[in-house]
Amino acid sequence: MTTASTTRHAEASVVVDLVILTVRGGALQVLLIERGKEPFLGMPALPGGYVRENETLDQAAVRELAEETGVASPRLQLEQLRAYGDPARDPRGHVITIAYLALCPGLPEPVAGTDARAARWAAVRDAVAAPLAFDHAAILRDAVERARSQLEYTTAAAAFCPEPFTVTDLRQVYEAIWDLPLDPSNFRRKVTRAASFIEATGDRRLHHGRPAALYRRGAAHLLSPPLLRASDHEIPAQVSAATSAAAS
Amino acid sequence: MTTASTTRHAEASVVVDLVILTVRGGALQVLLIERGKEPFLGMPALPGGYVRENETLDQAAVRELAEETGVASPRLQLEQLRAYGDPARDPRGHVITIAYLALCPGLPEPVAGTDARAARWAAVRDAVAAPLAFDHAAILRDAVERARSQLEYTTAAAAFCPEPFTVTDLRQVYEAIWDLPLDPSNFRRKVTRAASFIEATGDRRLHHGRPAALYRRGAAHLLSPPLLRASDHEIPAQVSAATSAAAS
DNA sequence: TGAATAGTGTCTATCAGACATTATTCG
DNA sequence: CGAATAATGTCTGATAGACACTATTCA
């Protein structure tokens, strides 16, 4: 960090980190890797990597997601979460990270990490309490909060369901992420009335009881009317001036 | 741009740009500066500047806001919007910008620009259609959309009102930003019932008609219940104007 | 048949929008 | 007083939640 001393301003490395969420076994899970080098050697961390020259942030995120999960779907649910730029967040120097949130349907257990790093799914319930490298714990918390509120106003939940899926599958996604029980009857009424949330395929899935109608994801991205949680509403990351400038 | 060629990844400059919104004269306005140097010399742009070493992104945004507006309130309404990092967005090279959204009460017309750049308030209605430097037009559009939805779920609207303010003042903020007329009676019911949105000071403001009760901002940041725009999930359906007209 | 799961119907308290009415001031 | 603005009250249709009930399959 001693080079380029002619500039007064920050010349920083730019990284994208990914919070890749899925629902497996009725629980929200996040993909974590184990760091193979310093700093934070051996610690769990979010997958991510440097943004290349001549690459947009979104392109870098899509590339990293494909490398980590093999997912390269056109129906990809991937969106920028926010930037994290505390100069102390990386001991090596000034590294800005742009965090992305990806929602994936259940994927096979052994994730092919091209980086030869150990990758595994971890229950979010555990991961938010565990120590993670860098400021990844804060990023993960923000991402989960974003995902929770996304379920209210967008059709994002369907991204967690491998197609075709049943209304019960979809409800269990909501229950896993909100950690709330939902009334099956009222849930069905709301998702089937919402415009273009889900489309019936015409097929049914046989299990043990009455066969369940199968659906695929509809064209809508925004959910109207929204599917609100009974309790109060969470909003994506507010920057309070108190955290950064306790000046007075 | 020929130095530091040993890195495969992006070593980029980091900038914060500010979308500073206010409501003046019943219209949503944004603070624009006129660029004093290349590139985009003479073009309107969002205020902003380089992030310094040993400074967080939030700190840089707070500093820039103070420099541009003189505002350094502890009740500052300032939050990160998102990062923009297209390598082609700045002709000088790879410059990542972290955009921030600031909501301010009405400020005096001549904004003291420490940078000796011409700063002025522009109606958002005009600014979104005008050519702006860099990708600032896209940033502005995103910011306005964020502000609109913030009004639904947070108490952010009160940040636009110099204290003390009346319920009518607050309603006019909503009307200006949503560009919708709101029923004064129903609006009053909702904002006064929402927990800790506004607090009566006990004073009244005399104008011409009945004196209006004065309020200050309450402690809540999240608005519950939310104050939803009607158009959000209304199906404009087949209610004929004929029936209502005939009823009178 | 009974257990299990899927799906429908209905009742009610609540609430949003529409709008009528009352209250308080100024000129 | 009448105009202007603030504030309250009321009516009604829509809806969320609770939950009873019906439907269809398997063992």
Q: What is the 3-state secondary structure (H, E, C) of A82-123?
A: EEECCCCCCCCCCEEEEEEEEECCCCCCCCCCCCCCCEEEEE
Instruction: Encode pLDDT of B44-86 as tens digits.
Output: 999 999 999 999 999 999 999 988 887 776 667 899 999 999 9
Residue A82: which of B62, B80, B154 has the nearest Cβ? B80
Average pLDDT over residues B109-128: 78
Amino acid at the residue A91: P
**In this structure, are A34 and A147 located in the same domain?**
yes
**CATH number, domain with residue B43:** 3.90.79.10
**In this structure, are B24 and B122 located in the same domain?**
yes
- Reported confidence tier of residue B241, pLDDT bands at 50, 70, 90: very low
Nucleotides of D under 7 A from a protein CB: 3-10, 15-20, 23-27
User: How many domains are contained in chain A?
Assistant: 2
- Reported confidence tier of residue B31, pLDDT bands at 50, 70, 90: very high
**In this structure, are A131 and A191 located in the same domain?**
no
Indicate the pTM of the whole model: 0.88
Do A3 and B4 count as a contact with CB atoms less than 8 A apart? yes
**In this structure, are B17 and B137 located in the same domain?**
yes
In the prediction, which pLDDT does A230 show? 73
In a domain, A2, yes or no: no
**Lowest-confidence range among A69-78, B155-164, B237-246?**
B237-246
Average pLDDT over residues A184-191: 97
Residue B71 forms contact with A (CB below 8 Å): no
Residue B221 forms contact with A (CB below 8 Å): yes
Q: Is the CB of B213 under 7 A from strand D?
A: yes
- Reported confidence tier of residue A236, pLDDT bands at 50, 70, 90: very low
Residue whose CA lies closest to nucleotide C16 C1': B186
State, as a whole number of angstroms, the distance between the CA of B56 and the C1' of D26.
Answer: 62
State, as a whole number of angstroms, the distance between the CA of A220 and the C1' of C5.
Answer: 29
In the prediction, which pLDDT does A109 show? 63
Question: Which structure tokens are listed for A97?
Answer: 């990270």
Residue of chain B with shortest Cα separation from A224: B233
**In this structure, are A43 and A30 located in the same domain?**
yes
Do B52 and A232 count as a contact with CB atoms less than 8 A apart? no
pLDDT tops 70 at residue A2? no
Percent pLDDT > 70 in chain B is: 83
State, as a whole number of angstroms, the distance between the CA of B169 and the C1' of D2.
Answer: 26
DSSP secondary structure code for residue B73 in this structure: -
**Domain interval for residue B164:** 154-231
Instruction: Encode pLDDT of B165-186 as tens digits.
Output: 999 999 999 999 999 999 999 9
Residue A92 forms contact with B (CB below 8 Å): no
- Reported confidence tier of residue B248, pLDDT bands at 50, 70, 90: very low
Instruction: Encode pLDDT of A112-128 as tens digits.
Output: 555 556 889 999 999 99
pLDDT tops 80 at residue A28? yes
In a domain, B242, yes or no: no
Average pLDDT over residues A185-195: 96
**In this structure, are B167 and B222 located in the same domain?**
yes
In a domain, B160, yes or no: yes
**In this structure, are A123 and A168 located in the same domain?**
no
**In this structure, are A41 and A126 located in the same domain?**
yes
In a domain, A223, yes or no: no
- Reported confidence tier of residue A212, pLDDT bands at 50, 70, 90: very high
Instruction: Encode pLDDT of A70-84 as tens digits.
Output: 777 666 789 999 999
- Reported confidence tier of residue A5, pLDDT bands at 50, 70, 90: very low
A205 CA: distance to closest CA in chain B (Å): 32
CB A166 within 8 A of CB A212: yes
**CATH number, domain with residue A171:** 1.10.10.10
Q: How far apart are CA B44 and CA A212, in angstroms?
A: 58
B223 CA: distance to closest CA in chain A (Å): 8
Which of A9-18, A39-48, A112-121 has the highest mean predicted lDDT (pLDDT)? A39-48
Residue B236, number of CB atoms within 10 A of its CB: 6
In a domain, B6, yes or no: no
CB B20 within 8 A of CB B47: yes
In the prediction, which pLDDT does B76 show? 77
Q: Scan residues 112-141 of A and list those with Cβ closer than 8 Å to B.
A: none
